[in-house]
Amino acid sequence: MHKLDINQVYNGDSNLMIKSIESESVDLVIIDPPYKIRKKTDEINSLAKAVKKYNEELQRDNLINEYDKSILEELVRVMKRINIYIWCNGEQIPSYIDFFVNKYKCKMDILVWNKTNAMPLFNNKYMTDKEYCLYFRKGGYCNPQCYEDAKTVFYLPINSKDKKKWIHPTIKPLSIIRTLIRNSSKEGDLVLDCFLGSGTTAVASILEKRNYIGIELNKKYYDISIQRINEIKECDK
């Protein structure tokens, strides 16, 4: 297989394609792999039904199946120094700490996206109103340039406009990804996202003048990412 070119997105399985990325070539990794979620809900009202329908949609598109964690070793191989953001849910946190802190002796931070318009479902549980983004680094670069960029909690609504436009059910806010890129890389650096979805990391890299490589398994989302990248390049001219 050929080496992967920079400023390209690829349609394929990242477990295989990552093997074509050169060792110690990537400055920053931002990934948002599928997370396993509990599908059980005791509520039977219309909101709960909407959540059930949403979860079925995620399941169908392979967005809530556990992924092959052996890719973490490959990510360590391709990074110049460990410098990685990983979106995850609470249950996944221990396994990432085990890998990056216990095994690779990284420093870590926990960032949180607080969804200010989360669904009001709290029967016998807390609301699902946040997502975690773990940051691990070992000599990696974290240098926020202003007070706002240094904050670790992002208060932002689920952006239903972007969600609708780019048809990805778990699209991340572009502004958060831009902040992570600004804080942990420099202009011209290479950013890798091998669970690219609708292309948020690639678009944020272009806007922040970084290079990128994206990999997405699902052809539908891959096509959307290309469309999104082309649109942003057109606006940038």
Radius of gyration of the chain (CA): 17
* Site stretch for ligand SAM (CB under 6 A), options 28-36, 45-53, 102-110, 150-158: 28-36
Q: 83 φ, ψ to 5°?
A: -155, 90
* Site stretch for ligand SAM (CB under 6 A), options 32-40, 43-51, 124-132, 182-190: 32-40
CB nearer to ligand SAM: pick between 44 and 233: 233
Q: Is 228 in the site for ligand SAM (CB under 6 A)?
A: no
Q: Is 227 in the site for ligand SAM (CB under 6 A)?
A: no
Q: Where are the alpha helices (DSSP H) in the chain?
A: 14-17, 46-60, 71-78, 93-96, 160-165, 174-184, 200-207, 219-236
Q: Is 195 in the site for ligand SAM (CB under 6 A)?
A: yes
Measured from the CB of residue 172, what is the shortest distance to ligand SAM in angstroms?
Answer: 4
Site for ligand SAM in 46-75 (CB under 6 A): 62-63, 67
Measured from the CB of residue 44, what is the shortest distance to ligand SAM in angstroms?
Answer: 28
- Give the long-range contacts of residues 176-180, CB within 8 A, separation 24 or more: 176/113, 176/133, 177/30, 177/201, 177/204, 178/204, 178/207, 178/208, 179/149, 179/154, 180/30, 180/85, 180/111, 180/133, 180/135
Site for ligand SAM in 124-183 (CB under 6 A): 168, 170-172
CB nearer to ligand SAM: pick between 95 and 143: 95
Measured from the CB of residue 147, what is the shortest distance to ligand SAM in angstroms?
Answer: 26
Size of the site for ligand SAM (CB under 6 A): 23
Residue of 179, 183, 198, 205 interacting with ligand SAM (CB under 6 A): 198
CB nearer to ligand SAM: pick between 101 and 232: 232
Contact present, 116 and 164 (Cβ < 8 Å): no
How far is the C-alpha of 212 from the C-alpha of 194, rounded, in Å? 10
- The 77-106 contact track toward ligand SAM, x by CB under 6 A, reads ------------------------------
Contact present, 171 and 87 (Cβ < 8 Å): no
> In sequence order, what DSSP letters do the residues of 162-187 get, joined into one string?
HHHHTT-TTPPPHHHHHHHHHHH--T
CB nearer to ligand SAM: pick between 101 and 226: 226
Which residues, in sequence order, are CB contacts of 146 under 8 Å at separation 6+? none
Token pair in block for residue 75 = 């990510």
Chain residues that interact with ligand SAM, rule: CB under 6 A: 13-15, 32-34, 62-63, 67, 168, 170-172, 194-195, 197-198, 200, 215-218, 221
